[in-house]
Amino acid sequence: MVPRIDVKNSIARKSFTGTLEFSFRAEQGLLDIPYTELASPVTAVLYYEILADDKVEVTGTLTFSLKGLCSRCLEEAEEKIAYEAEGIFSLSPKDEEYGYCNGLIDLREFLRDSVLFALPSRLLCSSCAEESE
């Protein structure tokens, strides 16, 4: 389950920063690499800060593994991925901001986008990865 950030409650407690640590299952449909799957749940370690203008900055690391067949030679392959995610949430979102309302931030869209940005264009086994360097 993906937690929410309760901005209203945090402001009332005068707690303007926080940490969230959790795991979740990402959608397999995000992958467009043939014969590949998300081999582990996504682990998220996120930090948030409530800014003076009621915007909330969220940063942190998402880690997960891909497993499947090498895109080049079709041998078994696995890749561990760590992605530095960052986003801004606003009551009136502009271009590259996420929105929130009623004092609650739902992180699902942010996490989905972050996993999508973290995915490589192909999965390579160790032999093929060495050759391509």
Based on the structure, what is the number of domains in the chain? Answer: 1
Mean pLDDT of 51-72: 95
* Residue 133 in this model has a pLDDT that exceeds 80: no
Supply the range of the domain harboring residue 114. 4-131
pLDDT grade for 132, boundaries at 50, 70 and 90: confident
| Contact by Cβ (8 Å): 56, 89 | yes
The two tokens of residue 22 are: 């959790």
Residue labelled with tokens 């609650």: 104
| The pLDDT value given to residue 2 | 85
Please tell me whether residue 39 adopts helix, strand or coil conformation. coil
pTM attached to this predicted model? 0.91
Query: C-alpha 127: how far from its chain's center?
Result: 28
pLDDT band (50, 70, 90) for residue 131? confident
Q: Please determine, for residue 71, whether its predicted confidence score (pLDDT) is greater than 80.
A: yes
